[in-house]
Chain A
Amino acid sequence: MPAPLPTASSSAAPGPCPDAGACRFVHGPIDGAAILAAVAAPAAGGNVLFLGTTRGVTADVTTRSLDYEAHEKVAVVMLDGLRAEALARFGLCGCAIVHRLGRVVVGEASIAIAASAPHRREAFAATEWLLEQVKAAVPIWKCEEDGEGRRTWVHPGDLRGIGARG
Protein backbone atom coordinates (compact mmCIF):
# COMPACT_ATOMS: atom_id res chain seq x y z
CA MET A 1 0.00 0.00 0.00
CA PRO A 2 1.21 3.54 -0.61
CA ALA A 3 2.47 5.33 2.51
CA PRO A 4 0.75 8.47 3.77
CA LEU A 5 1.41 11.72 1.95
CA PRO A 6 4.91 12.79 2.92
CA THR A 7 3.77 16.24 3.95
CA ALA A 8 0.56 15.32 5.73
CA SER A 9 0.42 14.53 9.42
CA SER A 10 -0.41 10.85 9.62
CA SER A 11 -3.46 10.32 11.79
CA ALA A 12 -3.61 11.39 15.43
CA ALA A 13 -1.95 14.81 15.53
CA PRO A 14 -1.70 16.13 19.09
CA GLY A 15 -3.17 19.50 18.08
CA PRO A 16 -6.77 20.52 17.51
CA CYS A 17 -8.71 18.82 14.75
CA PRO A 18 -8.84 20.61 11.42
CA ASP A 19 -11.93 22.78 11.27
CA ALA A 20 -14.15 22.14 8.29
CA GLY A 21 -13.46 24.82 5.71
CA ALA A 22 -10.24 26.12 7.21
CA CYS A 23 -8.47 24.77 4.12
CA ARG A 24 -10.36 25.21 0.90
CA PHE A 25 -10.38 26.23 -2.73
CA VAL A 26 -12.34 29.23 -3.99
CA HIS A 27 -13.15 30.30 -7.52
CA GLY A 28 -13.38 34.04 -6.96
CA PRO A 29 -11.52 36.78 -5.06
CA ILE A 30 -9.95 35.85 -1.72
CA ASP A 31 -11.10 37.82 1.33
CA GLY A 32 -7.87 38.08 3.32
CA ALA A 33 -9.42 39.99 6.20
CA ALA A 34 -12.05 37.28 6.75
CA ILE A 35 -9.38 34.59 6.73
CA LEU A 36 -7.25 36.45 9.27
CA ALA A 37 -10.34 37.07 11.41
CA ALA A 38 -11.11 33.34 11.33
CA VAL A 39 -7.82 32.52 13.08
CA ALA A 40 -8.20 35.17 15.80
CA ALA A 41 -8.11 33.84 19.36
CA PRO A 42 -7.90 35.32 22.87
CA ALA A 43 -4.70 33.34 23.43
CA ALA A 44 -3.04 34.83 20.34
CA GLY A 45 -0.56 37.71 20.44
CA GLY A 46 0.83 37.29 16.92
CA ASN A 47 -1.30 36.99 13.78
CA VAL A 48 0.20 36.69 10.30
CA LEU A 49 -1.52 36.79 6.93
CA PHE A 50 0.29 36.02 3.71
CA LEU A 51 -1.26 36.84 0.34
CA GLY A 52 0.42 35.60 -2.80
CA THR A 53 -0.54 37.90 -5.66
CA THR A 54 -0.08 37.73 -9.42
CA ARG A 55 3.02 39.79 -10.26
CA GLY A 56 2.79 41.82 -13.45
CA VAL A 57 6.45 41.72 -14.38
CA THR A 58 9.24 39.24 -13.63
CA ALA A 59 12.62 40.33 -14.93
CA ASP A 60 11.57 41.63 -18.36
CA VAL A 61 8.65 39.25 -18.91
CA THR A 62 5.13 40.66 -18.62
CA THR A 63 2.44 38.51 -17.05
CA ARG A 64 -1.19 39.27 -17.81
CA SER A 65 -2.72 36.65 -15.54
CA LEU A 66 -2.19 33.27 -13.94
CA ASP A 67 -4.67 30.43 -14.28
CA TYR A 68 -4.68 27.83 -11.51
CA GLU A 69 -5.97 24.29 -11.43
CA ALA A 70 -5.67 21.62 -8.76
CA HIS A 71 -6.32 17.96 -8.05
CA GLU A 72 -8.84 19.32 -5.58
CA LYS A 73 -9.83 16.18 -3.72
CA VAL A 74 -6.24 15.21 -2.96
CA ALA A 75 -5.05 18.78 -2.43
CA VAL A 76 -7.67 19.58 0.22
CA VAL A 77 -6.71 16.49 2.21
CA MET A 78 -3.05 17.53 1.99
CA LEU A 79 -3.83 21.10 3.04
CA ASP A 80 -5.83 19.83 6.04
CA GLY A 81 -2.90 17.59 6.94
CA LEU A 82 -0.40 20.45 6.67
CA ARG A 83 -2.67 22.62 8.81
CA ALA A 84 -2.93 19.95 11.50
CA GLU A 85 0.83 19.51 11.46
CA ALA A 86 1.42 23.27 11.74
CA LEU A 87 -1.04 23.61 14.62
CA ALA A 88 0.88 21.00 16.60
CA ARG A 89 4.41 21.82 15.49
CA PHE A 90 4.23 25.58 16.05
CA GLY A 91 1.68 25.60 18.88
CA LEU A 92 -0.73 27.69 16.85
CA CYS A 93 -4.07 29.04 18.07
CA GLY A 94 -5.52 29.05 14.56
CA CYS A 95 -4.58 28.40 10.95
CA ALA A 96 -6.24 28.62 7.56
CA ILE A 97 -5.18 28.08 3.94
CA VAL A 98 -7.28 29.25 1.01
CA HIS A 99 -6.22 28.83 -2.63
CA ARG A 100 -8.01 30.37 -5.57
CA LEU A 101 -8.52 28.43 -8.81
CA GLY A 102 -9.12 29.78 -12.29
CA ARG A 103 -7.89 33.08 -13.66
CA VAL A 104 -6.12 35.47 -11.27
CA VAL A 105 -5.19 38.80 -12.82
CA VAL A 106 -2.26 41.00 -11.79
CA GLY A 107 -2.58 42.28 -8.23
CA GLU A 108 -5.15 39.72 -7.15
CA ALA A 109 -4.42 36.98 -4.63
CA SER A 110 -4.08 33.31 -5.53
CA ILE A 111 -3.34 32.11 -2.00
CA ALA A 112 -3.95 33.25 1.55
CA ILE A 113 -2.32 31.63 4.57
CA ALA A 114 -3.16 32.85 8.05
CA ALA A 115 -1.71 31.72 11.36
CA SER A 116 -2.11 32.95 14.92
CA ALA A 117 0.04 32.00 17.90
CA PRO A 118 0.68 33.22 21.43
CA HIS A 119 3.91 34.86 20.20
CA ARG A 120 4.98 36.43 16.93
CA ARG A 121 7.83 34.11 16.00
CA GLU A 122 5.67 31.00 15.80
CA ALA A 123 3.04 32.80 13.72
CA PHE A 124 5.67 33.94 11.20
CA ALA A 125 7.47 30.60 11.14
CA ALA A 126 4.27 28.62 10.63
CA THR A 127 3.04 30.85 7.80
CA GLU A 128 6.35 30.61 5.94
CA TRP A 129 6.60 26.86 6.54
CA LEU A 130 3.08 26.26 5.24
CA LEU A 131 3.74 28.30 2.14
CA GLU A 132 6.91 26.34 1.38
CA GLN A 133 5.07 23.04 1.88
CA VAL A 134 2.23 24.09 -0.43
CA LYS A 135 4.68 25.21 -3.10
CA ALA A 136 6.70 22.00 -2.82
CA ALA A 137 4.13 19.25 -2.89
CA VAL A 138 0.43 20.12 -3.03
CA PRO A 139 -1.09 19.28 -6.45
CA ILE A 140 -1.84 22.79 -7.69
CA TRP A 141 -0.54 24.21 -10.96
CA LYS A 142 -0.41 27.59 -12.60
CA CYS A 143 -0.53 28.52 -16.26
CA GLU A 144 1.10 31.84 -17.09
CA GLU A 145 -0.44 34.09 -19.71
CA ASP A 146 2.01 36.66 -21.01
CA GLY A 147 1.41 40.05 -22.59
CA GLU A 148 0.85 38.46 -26.03
CA GLY A 149 -1.66 35.96 -24.71
CA ARG A 150 0.71 32.98 -24.85
CA ARG A 151 -0.11 30.39 -22.18
CA THR A 152 2.51 28.19 -20.48
CA TRP A 153 2.01 25.64 -17.72
CA VAL A 154 4.63 25.95 -15.01
CA HIS A 155 6.24 22.67 -13.93
CA PRO A 156 9.45 23.44 -12.06
CA GLY A 157 11.65 20.90 -10.32
CA ASP A 158 11.08 17.22 -9.86
CA LEU A 159 8.42 15.32 -7.88
CA ARG A 160 9.67 11.87 -8.94
CA GLY A 161 11.16 10.99 -5.57
CA ILE A 162 8.25 12.12 -3.41
CA GLY A 163 6.26 8.90 -3.20
CA ALA A 164 6.51 6.46 -0.33
CA ARG A 165 7.59 2.91 -1.15
CA GLY A 166 5.19 0.00 -1.24
Chain B
Amino acid sequence: MTELKKLYDAIVAGDAKTSLAITKEALAENVTPGELVANYMIPAMDEVGKRFECEDYFVPELLLSGRAMKAALGILRPLLAASGAQPAGRVIIGTVKGDLHDIGKNLVAAMLEGAGFEVTDLGTDVSPEKFVEAVSERKANIVCLSALLTVTMPAMRTTLDALRSAGVRSDVKVMIGGAPVTEQYAREIGADSYSENASAAVATARRLVGEAAHA
Protein backbone atom coordinates (compact mmCIF):
# COMPACT_ATOMS: atom_id res chain seq x y z
CA MET B 1 0.00 0.00 0.00
CA THR B 2 2.74 2.47 0.87
CA GLU B 3 4.16 1.65 -2.51
CA LEU B 4 0.99 2.80 -4.24
CA LYS B 5 0.74 6.06 -2.38
CA LYS B 6 4.10 6.74 -4.01
CA LEU B 7 2.46 6.51 -7.43
CA TYR B 8 0.12 9.26 -6.36
CA ASP B 9 3.04 11.30 -5.05
CA ALA B 10 5.12 10.75 -8.17
CA ILE B 11 2.35 12.02 -10.40
CA VAL B 12 1.71 15.04 -8.21
CA ALA B 13 5.44 15.76 -8.23
CA GLY B 14 5.66 15.29 -11.99
CA ASP B 15 8.20 12.48 -11.68
CA ALA B 16 7.61 10.28 -14.71
CA LYS B 17 10.41 7.81 -13.95
CA THR B 18 9.11 6.92 -10.51
CA SER B 19 5.53 6.82 -11.68
CA LEU B 20 6.46 4.34 -14.39
CA ALA B 21 8.57 2.22 -12.05
CA ILE B 22 5.89 1.93 -9.38
CA THR B 23 3.23 1.13 -11.92
CA LYS B 24 5.36 -1.75 -13.18
CA GLU B 25 6.00 -3.02 -9.67
CA ALA B 26 2.33 -2.84 -8.81
CA LEU B 27 1.32 -4.76 -11.89
CA ALA B 28 3.92 -7.38 -11.01
CA GLU B 29 2.25 -7.61 -7.56
CA ASN B 30 -1.08 -8.14 -9.34
CA VAL B 31 -2.72 -4.84 -8.47
CA THR B 32 -5.39 -4.30 -11.15
CA PRO B 33 -4.93 -1.50 -13.67
CA GLY B 34 -8.42 -0.28 -12.82
CA GLU B 35 -7.46 0.19 -9.18
CA LEU B 36 -4.29 2.08 -10.07
CA VAL B 37 -6.16 4.45 -12.31
CA ALA B 38 -9.20 5.00 -10.15
CA ASN B 39 -7.57 5.15 -6.73
CA TYR B 40 -4.22 6.77 -7.39
CA MET B 41 -3.79 8.28 -10.79
CA ILE B 42 -7.05 10.15 -11.25
CA PRO B 43 -6.97 11.45 -7.65
CA ALA B 44 -3.38 12.56 -8.24
CA MET B 45 -4.37 14.52 -11.32
CA ASP B 46 -7.31 15.97 -9.44
CA GLU B 47 -4.89 17.18 -6.78
CA VAL B 48 -2.69 18.67 -9.47
CA GLY B 49 -5.70 20.41 -10.94
CA LYS B 50 -6.56 21.78 -7.52
CA ARG B 51 -3.06 23.11 -6.93
CA PHE B 52 -3.20 24.77 -10.32
CA GLU B 53 -6.52 26.35 -9.44
CA CYS B 54 -5.08 27.67 -6.16
CA GLU B 55 -2.16 29.13 -8.07
CA ASP B 56 0.21 26.87 -6.25
CA TYR B 57 1.24 25.16 -9.48
CA PHE B 58 2.05 26.80 -12.77
CA VAL B 59 1.61 25.15 -16.15
CA PRO B 60 5.09 23.55 -16.22
CA GLU B 61 4.30 21.59 -13.05
CA LEU B 62 0.95 20.68 -14.51
CA LEU B 63 2.47 19.38 -17.72
CA LEU B 64 5.14 17.41 -15.88
CA SER B 65 2.42 15.71 -13.86
CA GLY B 66 0.58 15.01 -17.07
CA ARG B 67 3.67 13.35 -18.41
CA ALA B 68 4.08 11.23 -15.31
CA MET B 69 0.48 10.17 -15.68
CA LYS B 70 0.91 9.43 -19.37
CA ALA B 71 4.03 7.36 -18.72
CA ALA B 72 2.08 5.12 -16.39
CA LEU B 73 -0.96 5.04 -18.64
CA GLY B 74 1.27 3.93 -21.50
CA ILE B 75 1.62 0.47 -19.99
CA LEU B 76 -1.85 0.38 -18.45
CA ARG B 77 -3.88 1.33 -21.51
CA PRO B 78 -3.51 -1.94 -23.44
CA LEU B 79 -4.42 -3.86 -20.29
CA LEU B 80 -7.42 -1.61 -19.64
CA ALA B 81 -8.59 -1.97 -23.21
CA ALA B 82 -8.29 -5.74 -23.00
CA SER B 83 -10.43 -5.69 -19.86
CA GLY B 84 -13.04 -3.63 -21.70
CA ALA B 85 -12.57 -0.47 -19.60
CA GLN B 86 -13.47 2.77 -21.31
CA PRO B 87 -11.76 6.14 -21.24
CA ALA B 88 -13.72 8.97 -19.64
CA GLY B 89 -14.60 9.97 -23.17
CA ARG B 90 -13.14 10.46 -26.62
CA VAL B 91 -12.30 14.00 -27.57
CA ILE B 92 -11.35 15.57 -30.88
CA ILE B 93 -9.70 18.93 -30.46
CA GLY B 94 -8.28 21.49 -32.86
CA THR B 95 -7.86 25.16 -33.66
CA VAL B 96 -10.21 26.18 -36.44
CA LYS B 97 -9.41 27.05 -40.03
CA GLY B 98 -7.24 30.11 -40.51
CA ASP B 99 -6.08 30.25 -36.91
CA LEU B 100 -2.64 29.17 -35.75
CA HIS B 101 -2.85 29.91 -32.04
CA ASP B 102 -2.44 26.71 -30.13
CA ILE B 103 -1.10 27.35 -26.65
CA GLY B 104 -4.54 27.51 -25.09
CA LYS B 105 -5.81 24.58 -27.08
CA ASN B 106 -2.78 22.51 -26.06
CA LEU B 107 -3.47 23.21 -22.43
CA VAL B 108 -7.06 22.15 -22.76
CA ALA B 109 -5.90 18.96 -24.46
CA ALA B 110 -3.36 18.26 -21.73
CA MET B 111 -5.88 18.81 -18.95
CA LEU B 112 -8.44 16.57 -20.64
CA GLU B 113 -5.85 13.85 -21.02
CA GLY B 114 -4.93 14.26 -17.40
CA ALA B 115 -8.58 13.75 -16.52
CA GLY B 116 -8.64 10.42 -18.35
CA PHE B 117 -10.06 11.47 -21.69
CA GLU B 118 -8.69 10.01 -24.88
CA VAL B 119 -7.69 13.08 -26.85
CA THR B 120 -7.01 13.37 -30.56
CA ASP B 121 -5.36 16.69 -31.32
CA LEU B 122 -5.81 17.74 -34.95
CA GLY B 123 -3.48 20.72 -34.51
CA THR B 124 -4.12 24.20 -35.86
CA ASP B 125 -5.74 25.60 -38.99
CA VAL B 126 -8.08 22.61 -39.11
CA SER B 127 -10.69 22.59 -41.86
CA PRO B 128 -14.30 21.63 -41.15
CA GLU B 129 -13.85 18.54 -43.31
CA LYS B 130 -10.99 17.32 -41.15
CA PHE B 131 -13.12 17.67 -38.04
CA VAL B 132 -15.92 15.71 -39.69
CA GLU B 133 -13.53 13.02 -40.79
CA ALA B 134 -11.99 12.66 -37.35
CA VAL B 135 -15.36 12.46 -35.62
CA SER B 136 -16.38 9.51 -37.77
CA GLU B 137 -13.01 7.81 -37.56
CA ARG B 138 -12.52 8.14 -33.85
CA LYS B 139 -16.10 7.69 -32.76
CA ALA B 140 -15.64 10.81 -30.66
CA ASN B 141 -18.07 11.94 -27.97
CA ILE B 142 -16.87 15.49 -27.86
CA VAL B 143 -15.47 17.94 -30.37
CA CYS B 144 -13.51 20.87 -29.00
CA LEU B 145 -12.97 23.93 -31.18
CA SER B 146 -10.51 26.67 -30.33
CA ALA B 147 -10.23 30.13 -31.93
CA LEU B 148 -8.20 33.13 -30.81
CA LEU B 149 -8.96 35.49 -33.64
CA THR B 150 -12.30 37.18 -34.02
CA VAL B 151 -11.94 36.71 -37.76
CA THR B 152 -11.69 32.96 -37.36
CA MET B 153 -14.59 32.64 -34.95
CA PRO B 154 -16.99 32.31 -37.91
CA ALA B 155 -15.10 29.12 -38.82
CA MET B 156 -16.64 27.60 -35.68
CA ARG B 157 -20.05 28.09 -37.20
CA THR B 158 -18.87 26.63 -40.51
CA THR B 159 -17.49 23.60 -38.68
CA LEU B 160 -20.81 23.06 -36.92
CA ASP B 161 -22.57 23.34 -40.27
CA ALA B 162 -20.22 20.73 -41.73
CA LEU B 163 -20.93 18.36 -38.83
CA ARG B 164 -24.62 18.85 -39.51
CA SER B 165 -24.39 18.30 -43.25
CA ALA B 166 -22.34 15.18 -42.65
CA GLY B 167 -25.11 13.92 -40.39
CA VAL B 168 -22.84 13.47 -37.37
CA ARG B 169 -23.83 16.53 -35.36
CA SER B 170 -26.11 14.56 -33.05
CA ASP B 171 -23.42 11.98 -32.35
CA VAL B 172 -21.18 14.47 -30.58
CA LYS B 173 -21.23 17.28 -28.11
CA VAL B 174 -19.45 20.42 -29.27
CA MET B 175 -17.52 22.59 -26.85
CA ILE B 176 -15.88 25.83 -27.94
CA GLY B 177 -13.37 28.18 -26.36
CA GLY B 178 -10.58 30.69 -26.83
CA ALA B 179 -10.12 34.26 -25.65
CA PRO B 180 -12.64 36.05 -27.90
CA VAL B 181 -15.29 33.35 -27.64
CA THR B 182 -18.26 33.84 -25.32
CA GLU B 183 -21.06 31.84 -23.80
CA GLN B 184 -23.44 33.88 -25.91
CA TYR B 185 -21.58 33.11 -29.10
CA ALA B 186 -21.77 29.41 -28.27
CA ARG B 187 -25.51 29.72 -27.95
CA GLU B 188 -25.73 31.75 -31.13
CA ILE B 189 -24.04 29.16 -33.30
CA GLY B 190 -25.65 26.20 -31.57
CA ALA B 191 -22.62 24.70 -29.84
CA ASP B 192 -23.38 22.65 -26.75
CA SER B 193 -21.11 24.56 -24.46
CA TYR B 194 -18.39 27.07 -23.87
CA SER B 195 -15.66 27.02 -21.25
CA GLU B 196 -13.54 29.91 -20.17
CA ASN B 197 -10.40 27.96 -19.37
CA ALA B 198 -8.81 24.55 -19.30
CA SER B 199 -9.98 23.48 -15.84
CA ALA B 200 -13.52 24.54 -16.63
CA ALA B 201 -13.24 22.58 -19.87
CA VAL B 202 -12.59 19.38 -17.93
CA ALA B 203 -15.61 19.88 -15.71
CA THR B 204 -17.73 20.68 -18.73
CA ALA B 205 -16.45 17.69 -20.69
CA ARG B 206 -17.42 15.42 -17.81
CA ARG B 207 -20.88 16.95 -17.73
CA LEU B 208 -21.29 16.63 -21.50
CA VAL B 209 -20.34 12.95 -21.47
CA GLY B 210 -22.83 12.42 -18.67
CA GLU B 211 -25.55 14.21 -20.63
CA ALA B 212 -24.78 12.23 -23.75
CA ALA B 213 -25.06 9.00 -21.74
CA HIS B 214 -28.51 9.99 -20.51
CA ALA B 215 -29.72 11.34 -23.81
Q: Do A and B bind each other?
A: no
